[in-house]
Amino acid sequence: MTKENSDILEAVHETARALHDADIMDTTTMREFDALCVTPPRDYTGEELKALRANLRVSQPVLATYLGVTKSTVAQWEQGTKKPRGPALRLLTILDRKGLDAIA
């Protein structure tokens, strides 16, 4: 998704939120909008994960603690022998967009 598409989606979501807050849109429809507006997690290569961790200025053990995984898991992701998935992948996507403060 491009930045432009993301901005448009955010504007539409804000409008939907306002309609819901004004009791013009029902809760079920608002939940459907919420689900549509969730940014899908992206796939990361080992090199991209290393770069992300370096950008966050944390060690493998510290990143592992933030993500609720082991240091060995982070190392395997960075070596490319395993791929992050599930909640860890979602958290990595958030960290990439918003930094450590978003999940600290």
Q: How many CB atoms lie within 10 A of CB 32?
A: 13
Q: What is the CATH number of domain 46-102?
A: 1.10.260.40
Q: Does 1 score more than 60 pLDDT?
A: no
**CA–CA separation, 14 and 64 (whole Å):** 34
- pLDDT tens track for 17-73: 899 999 999 999 888 888 887 777 889 999 999 999 999 999 999 999 999 999 999
Residue 9: per-residue pLDDT? 79
Q: In 1-104, where do the E strands start and end?
A: none
Residue 2: per-residue pLDDT? 60
Q: Does 13 score more than 70 pLDDT?
A: yes
